[in-house]
Protein backbone atom coordinates (compact mmCIF):
# COMPACT_ATOMS: atom_id res chain seq x y z
CA UNK A 1 0.00 0.00 0.00
CA UNK A 2 1.40 3.36 -1.10
CA UNK A 3 1.04 5.84 1.75
CA UNK A 4 1.77 8.83 -0.47
CA UNK A 5 0.26 9.32 -3.90
CA UNK A 6 1.93 11.80 -6.22
CA UNK A 7 0.37 13.31 -9.32
CA UNK A 8 0.90 13.69 -12.11
CA UNK A 9 3.33 10.83 -12.63
CA UNK A 10 4.88 12.52 -15.69
CA UNK A 11 4.87 16.13 -16.80
CA UNK A 12 6.43 17.62 -19.91
CA UNK A 13 6.26 21.38 -20.32
CA UNK A 14 8.03 24.20 -22.12
CA UNK A 15 10.34 26.70 -20.52
CA UNK A 16 8.47 29.57 -18.92
CA UNK A 17 5.32 27.65 -18.06
CA UNK A 18 3.99 27.23 -14.53
CA UNK A 19 3.16 23.88 -12.97
CA UNK A 20 1.89 22.28 -9.80
CA UNK A 21 2.52 18.76 -8.55
CA UNK A 22 0.63 17.13 -5.73
CA UNK A 23 1.32 14.75 -2.89
CA UNK A 24 -1.69 13.21 -1.17
CA UNK A 25 -2.27 10.75 1.63
CA UNK A 26 -4.98 9.52 3.95
CA UNK A 27 -2.44 9.54 6.77
CA UNK A 28 -1.34 12.43 8.95
CA UNK A 29 2.36 13.21 8.95
CA UNK A 30 4.45 15.02 11.52
CA UNK A 31 6.42 16.56 8.67
CA UNK A 32 6.71 16.36 4.93
CA UNK A 33 9.73 16.81 2.75
CA UNK A 34 10.20 17.47 -0.93
CA UNK A 35 13.25 16.16 -2.75
CA UNK A 36 14.57 16.57 -6.28
CA UNK A 37 16.55 13.80 -7.90
CA UNK A 38 18.61 13.86 -11.08
CA UNK A 39 19.37 10.67 -13.02
CA UNK A 40 22.06 8.55 -11.37
CA UNK A 41 22.19 10.68 -8.23
CA UNK A 42 20.65 10.53 -4.79
CA UNK A 43 17.64 12.70 -3.87
CA UNK A 44 18.48 16.20 -2.66
CA UNK A 45 16.34 17.75 0.05
CA UNK A 46 14.52 20.90 -1.09
CA UNK A 47 12.30 21.74 1.87
CA UNK A 48 10.64 20.44 5.02
CA UNK A 49 7.18 21.58 6.09
CA UNK A 50 5.92 20.88 9.57
CA UNK A 51 2.91 23.04 10.40
CA UNK A 52 -0.51 22.54 8.81
CA UNK A 53 -1.14 25.31 6.28
CA UNK A 54 2.53 26.22 6.13
CA UNK A 55 3.84 27.81 2.92
CA UNK A 56 7.53 27.95 2.08
CA UNK A 57 9.20 29.55 -0.90
CA UNK A 58 12.51 28.62 -2.46
CA UNK A 59 13.19 31.02 -5.34
CA UNK A 60 10.62 30.00 -8.00
CA UNK A 61 9.35 27.02 -6.00
CA UNK A 62 6.44 27.33 -3.57
CA UNK A 63 5.62 24.50 -1.19
CA UNK A 64 2.41 24.18 0.78
CA UNK A 65 1.45 21.75 3.53
CA UNK A 66 -2.24 20.98 3.85
CA UNK A 67 -4.14 22.18 6.90
CA UNK A 68 -4.71 18.60 8.05
CA UNK A 69 -1.06 17.65 7.37
CA UNK A 70 -2.14 14.92 4.93
CA UNK A 71 -1.19 16.52 1.64
CA UNK A 72 1.18 18.96 0.03
CA UNK A 73 1.77 20.75 -3.23
CA UNK A 74 4.76 22.09 -5.09
CA UNK A 75 4.28 24.97 -7.50
CA UNK A 76 7.01 26.04 -9.91
CA UNK A 77 6.78 29.43 -11.57
CA UNK A 78 8.39 30.03 -14.96
CA UNK A 79 9.96 26.59 -15.20
CA UNK A 80 13.48 26.31 -16.58
CA UNK A 81 15.30 23.33 -18.14
CA UNK A 82 17.37 23.09 -14.96
CA UNK A 83 14.19 22.16 -13.09
CA UNK A 84 14.07 18.86 -14.95
CA UNK A 85 14.17 15.90 -12.60
CA UNK A 86 12.21 13.54 -10.41
CA UNK A 87 10.33 15.32 -7.62
CA UNK A 88 9.68 13.17 -4.58
CA UNK A 89 7.61 13.85 -1.52
CA UNK A 90 8.28 12.00 1.72
CA UNK A 91 6.14 11.91 4.82
CA UNK A 92 7.63 11.63 8.25
CA UNK A 93 6.00 9.60 10.99
CA UNK A 94 7.65 8.29 14.09
CA UNK A 95 10.51 6.00 13.07
CA UNK A 96 9.49 6.07 9.39
CA UNK A 97 10.08 8.12 6.29
CA UNK A 98 7.80 7.04 3.43
CA UNK A 99 8.22 8.18 -0.15
CA UNK A 100 5.77 8.65 -2.96
CA UNK A 101 6.57 7.30 -6.44
CA UNK A 102 7.52 10.75 -7.67
CA UNK A 103 6.65 13.14 -10.48
CA UNK A 104 9.04 13.08 -13.40
CA UNK A 105 9.32 16.61 -14.82
CA UNK A 106 10.81 17.49 -18.19
CA UNK A 107 11.23 21.15 -19.10
CA UNK A 108 12.19 21.75 -22.72
CA UNK A 109 13.75 24.98 -24.02
CA UNK B 1 29.72 20.43 3.85
CA UNK B 2 28.95 17.10 5.51
CA UNK B 3 27.81 14.36 3.17
CA UNK B 4 26.66 10.78 3.26
CA UNK B 5 29.35 8.65 1.65
CA UNK B 6 28.52 5.49 -0.27
CA UNK B 7 30.68 3.03 -2.11
CA UNK B 8 30.97 1.71 -4.66
CA UNK B 9 29.11 4.05 -7.05
CA UNK B 10 28.60 1.27 -9.56
CA UNK B 11 28.66 -2.49 -9.23
CA UNK B 12 28.15 -5.20 -11.81
CA UNK B 13 27.86 -8.72 -10.50
CA UNK B 14 26.77 -12.08 -11.80
CA UNK B 15 23.65 -13.68 -10.40
CA UNK B 16 24.23 -15.99 -7.45
CA UNK B 17 27.29 -13.98 -6.40
CA UNK B 18 27.56 -11.99 -3.18
CA UNK B 19 27.68 -8.20 -3.21
CA UNK B 20 28.11 -5.61 -0.45
CA UNK B 21 27.52 -1.89 -0.20
CA UNK B 22 28.98 0.50 2.35
CA UNK B 23 27.60 3.71 3.81
CA UNK B 24 29.10 6.31 6.12
CA UNK B 25 26.40 8.72 7.38
CA UNK B 26 26.80 12.35 8.33
CA UNK B 27 28.65 12.58 11.64
CA UNK B 28 26.26 12.68 14.58
CA UNK B 29 23.28 11.28 12.69
CA UNK B 30 21.75 8.52 14.75
CA UNK B 31 19.26 7.31 12.14
CA UNK B 32 20.45 5.49 9.03
CA UNK B 33 18.26 4.24 6.21
CA UNK B 34 18.86 1.88 3.31
CA UNK B 35 16.48 2.33 0.38
CA UNK B 36 16.13 0.54 -2.94
CA UNK B 37 14.97 2.51 -5.95
CA UNK B 38 13.81 1.13 -9.27
CA UNK B 39 14.44 3.50 -12.18
CA UNK B 40 11.81 6.24 -12.33
CA UNK B 41 10.12 5.28 -9.06
CA UNK B 42 10.35 6.44 -5.47
CA UNK B 43 12.74 4.90 -2.95
CA UNK B 44 11.46 1.92 -0.98
CA UNK B 45 12.73 1.43 2.55
CA UNK B 46 14.71 -1.76 3.12
CA UNK B 47 15.99 -1.21 6.64
CA UNK B 48 16.23 1.57 9.21
CA UNK B 49 18.70 1.80 12.08
CA UNK B 50 18.58 3.91 15.20
CA UNK B 51 22.20 3.90 16.35
CA UNK B 52 23.18 0.23 16.10
CA UNK B 53 19.65 -1.16 16.48
CA UNK B 54 17.31 -2.13 13.68
CA UNK B 55 14.07 -0.13 13.94
CA UNK B 56 12.35 -1.43 10.81
CA UNK B 57 13.41 -4.23 8.46
CA UNK B 58 9.93 -5.40 7.52
CA UNK B 59 10.58 -4.91 3.78
CA UNK B 60 14.05 -6.47 3.78
CA UNK B 61 14.14 -9.85 1.96
CA UNK B 62 15.89 -11.58 4.81
CA UNK B 63 16.54 -14.80 2.92
CA UNK B 64 19.17 -12.99 0.86
CA UNK B 65 19.67 -9.50 2.28
CA UNK B 66 21.41 -8.54 5.50
CA UNK B 67 22.38 -5.22 7.02
CA UNK B 68 24.48 -4.24 9.96
CA UNK B 69 25.63 -1.12 11.77
CA UNK B 70 27.82 -2.64 14.44
CA UNK B 71 29.19 0.50 16.10
CA UNK B 72 26.27 2.74 15.29
CA UNK B 73 28.22 4.68 12.70
CA UNK B 74 28.85 3.21 9.25
CA UNK B 75 26.75 0.43 7.78
CA UNK B 76 26.97 -2.42 5.32
CA UNK B 77 24.19 -3.91 3.20
CA UNK B 78 24.82 -7.35 1.74
CA UNK B 79 23.03 -9.44 -0.85
CA UNK B 80 23.79 -13.13 -1.16
CA UNK B 81 23.02 -14.58 -3.61
CA UNK B 82 22.21 -11.76 -5.99
CA UNK B 83 19.30 -12.20 -8.39
CA UNK B 84 18.52 -10.44 -11.66
CA UNK B 85 15.61 -8.62 -10.00
CA UNK B 86 17.98 -6.99 -7.51
CA UNK B 87 19.26 -4.63 -10.19
CA UNK B 88 18.45 -1.17 -8.85
CA UNK B 89 19.88 1.91 -7.17
CA UNK B 90 20.67 1.34 -3.50
CA UNK B 91 20.50 4.55 -1.51
CA UNK B 92 21.74 5.27 1.98
CA UNK B 93 20.40 8.21 3.96
CA UNK B 94 20.89 9.55 7.44
CA UNK B 95 18.93 11.76 9.76
CA UNK B 96 19.84 13.60 12.93
CA UNK B 97 16.59 12.98 14.70
CA UNK B 98 14.64 9.75 15.04
CA UNK B 99 11.27 11.05 13.92
CA UNK B 100 11.56 10.32 10.20
CA UNK B 101 12.46 13.83 9.19
CA UNK B 102 14.99 15.50 6.95
CA UNK B 103 16.95 12.60 5.59
CA UNK B 104 20.11 13.35 3.64
CA UNK B 105 21.08 10.95 0.89
CA UNK B 106 24.30 9.66 -0.52
CA UNK B 107 24.88 9.37 -4.25
CA UNK B 108 23.79 5.75 -4.23
CA UNK B 109 25.18 2.52 -5.62
CA UNK B 110 23.89 1.43 -9.00
CA UNK B 111 23.78 -2.37 -8.99
CA UNK B 112 23.47 -4.38 -12.17
CA UNK B 113 23.06 -8.14 -11.88
CA UNK B 114 23.85 -10.06 -15.06
Per-residue pLDDT tens digits for B33-89: 999 999 888 999 999 999 999 988 999 999 999 999 988 899 999 999 999 999 999
The pLDDT score that the predictor gives to residue A94 is 65
Distance (Å, whole) CA A86 – CA A96? 21
Per-residue pLDDT tens digits for A33-75: 999 999 889 999 999 998 999 999 999 999 999 999 999 999 9
CATH of the domain at B61: 2.60.40.10
CB atoms B40 and A48 under 8 Å: no
Domain span at residue A43?
Answer: 5-108
For chain B, the domain total comes to 1
Query: At A83, phi and psi to the nearest 5?
Result: -80, -10
Per-residue pLDDT tens digits for A1-37: 568 999 999 999 999 999 999 999 998 888 899 999 9
The pLDDT score that the predictor gives to residue B102 is 82
Our CA-based measurement puts residue A29 at a distance from the nearest CA of chain B, in whole angstroms, of 10
Chain A positions in Cβ-Cβ contact with residue B97 (cut-off 8 Å):
none
The pLDDT score that the predictor gives to residue A31 is 86
DSSP letters of A27-80? S--SEEEEEEE-TTS--EEEEEE-STT-EEEETTEEEEE-TTSSEEEEEESS--
Residue A91 vs residue B90, higher pLDDT: B90
The pLDDT score that the predictor gives to residue B70 is 86
Q: Is B107 near chain A, with CB under 8 Å?
A: yes
Span B100-110, average pLDDT: 87
Distance (Å, whole) CA B19 – CA B87? 12
Nearest-Cα residue of chain B relative to residue A45: B104
CATH of the domain at A38: 2.60.40.10
CB atoms B110 and A40 under 8 Å: yes
For chain A, the domain total comes to 1
Cβ burial of A45 (10 Å; 0-12, 13-18, 19+) is middle
List, in sequence order, every residue forming a beta bridge with B90; answer none if it has no partner: B36, B109
CB A14 within 8 A of CB A71: no
Instruction: Fill in the DSSP letter of residue B3.
Output: -
Domain span at residue B49?
Answer: 5-113
- Nearest Cα residue to A35 out of A53, A48, A21, A25: A48
CB hemisphere CA count around B107 (13 angstroms): 8
Which residue out of A11, A31, A43, A101 would a mutagenesis test of the B interface target, given it has the greatest number of B Cβ atoms within 10 Å? Answer: A43
Nearest to A48 among B44, B101, B108 (CB): B101
Q: Is B50 near chain A, with CB under 8 Å?
A: yes
Work out the mean pLDDT of chain B and round it to a whole number. Answer: 93
Amino acid sequence: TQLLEQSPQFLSIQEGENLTVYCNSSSVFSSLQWYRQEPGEGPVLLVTVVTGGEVKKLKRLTFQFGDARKDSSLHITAAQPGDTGLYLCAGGRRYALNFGKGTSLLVTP
Amino acid sequence: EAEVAQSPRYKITEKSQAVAFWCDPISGHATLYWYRQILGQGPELLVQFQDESVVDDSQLPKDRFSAERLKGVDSTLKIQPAELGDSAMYLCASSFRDLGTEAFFGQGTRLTVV
